[in-house]
Amino acid sequence: MNTLSSSDTRIVRDLALKIAEIAALPIQRQREKEWKRLNSLKPGRPLVLVWPYEIPWQELDGDELRLQCEEEFCRGVEQNMRRTLFQWKYFPGDMVVDNFIECYPSVHDTGHGIQWDPDEAKSDGSNPIVSRHFKPVIKEPEDIQKIVMPTVTVDRAATDSRFQRLQELFAGTMPVKIGGPRGYWFCPMDELIVYWGIQEMLTDLVMRPDMVHAGMERMTQWHESRVQQWEDLGVLTLNNNARIINTGGYGCTDQLPAKGFTPEHVRTLDSWGSAATQIFGTVSPEMHWEFSSQYEARFLKRFGLVSYGCCDPLHHKQEVVKRIPNVRRLSMSPWADHEAGAEWIGNRYVYSFKPNPALLAEQTWDPAEARRQIRRVVDIAKKHGCVMEIILKDISTTRGELKRISEWTKIAKEEAAAVS
Q: What is the pLDDT of residues 274-332, one digit of tens each?
A: 999 999 988 999 999 999 999 999 999 999 999 999 988 999 999 999 999 999 999 99
| pLDDT range class, residue 184, cuts 50, 70, 90 | confident
Q: How far is CA 47 from CA 5, 202, 289, 407, in A?
A: 41, 36, 31, 16
**How confident is the model over 46-89, as pLDDT tens digits?**
999 999 989 999 888 778 999 999 999 999 999 999 999 999 99
| Three-state secondary structure readout of the chain | CCCCCHHHHHHHHHHHHHHHHHHCCHHHHHHHHHHHHHHCCCCCCCEEEECHHHCCHHHCCCCCCCCCCCCHHHHHHHHHHHHHHHHHHHCCCCCCCCCCEEECCCEEECCCCCCCCEEECCCCCCCCCCCEEECCCCCCHHHHHHCCCCCEEECHHHHHHHHHHHHHHCCCCCCEEECCCCCCEECHHHHHHHHHCHHHHHHHHHHCHHHHHHHHHHHHHHHHHHHHHHHHHCCCCCCCCCCECCCCCECCCCCCCCCCCECCECCHHHCEEEECCHHHCCCCHHHHHHHHHHHHHHHHCCCCEEEECCCCCCCCCHHHHHCCCCEEEEEECCCCCHHHHHHHHCCCCEEEECCCHHHHHCCCCCHHHHHHHHHHHHHHHHHCCCEEEEEECCCCCCCCCHHHHHHHHHHHHHHHHCCC
Q: What's the whole-number mean pLDDT along residues 113-126?
A: 72
**How confident is the model over 226-264, as pLDDT tens digits?**
999 999 999 999 999 999 998 999 999 999 999 999 998
Cis preceding linkage at 355, omega within 30: no
Which pLDDT does position 146 carry in this prediction? 95
**How confident is the model over 90-104, as pLDDT tens digits?**
999 999 999 999 998
Mean pLDDT score of the chain, rounded to an integer? 94
Helix axes 72-90, 402-417, angle to 10 degrees: 50
Looking at the chain, the whole-number percentage of residues with pLDDT higher than 90 is: 86
| pLDDT range class, residue 133, cuts 50, 70, 90 | confident
- Compute the radius of gyration of the chain from its Cα atoms: 22
Q: What's the whole-number mean pLDDT along residues 352-371?
A: 96
| pLDDT range class, residue 417, cuts 50, 70, 90 | very high
- Cα 71 to its chain centre, rounded Å, is 29
Which pLDDT does position 117 carry in this prediction? 75
Which pLDDT does position 420 carry in this prediction? 67
Other C-beta atoms closer than 10 Å to the C-beta of 286 total 11
- Alpha-carbon gap, residue 144 to 139, rounded angstroms: 9
Q: What is the pTM of this model?
A: 0.94
Which pLDDT does position 373 carry in this prediction? 97
> Which residue, among 326, 381, 382, has the nearest Cα to 353 in the 3D structure?
381
| pLDDT range class, residue 156, cuts 50, 70, 90 | very high
Which pLDDT does position 127 carry in this prediction? 63
- Alpha-carbon gap, residue 189 to 195, rounded angstroms: 10
How many Cα atoms within 13 Å fall on the side-chain side of residue 95? 22
- Alpha-carbon gap, residue 364 to 402, rounded angstroms: 13
| pLDDT range class, residue 402, cuts 50, 70, 90 | confident
288, 317 contact by CB (below 8 A): yes
Which pLDDT does position 132 carry in this prediction? 75
Is 60 exceeded by the pLDDT of residue 1?
A: no
| pLDDT range class, residue 172, cuts 50, 70, 90 | very high
- Alpha-carbon gap, residue 371 to 415, rounded angstroms: 8
137, 195 contact by CB (below 8 A): yes
| pLDDT range class, residue 21, cuts 50, 70, 90 | very high
Is 90 exceeded by the pLDDT of residue 4?
A: no
Q: What's the whole-number mean pLDDT along residues 27-31?
A: 98
Name all domains of the chain by residue range, CATH numbers in brackets: 6-417 (3.20.20.210)
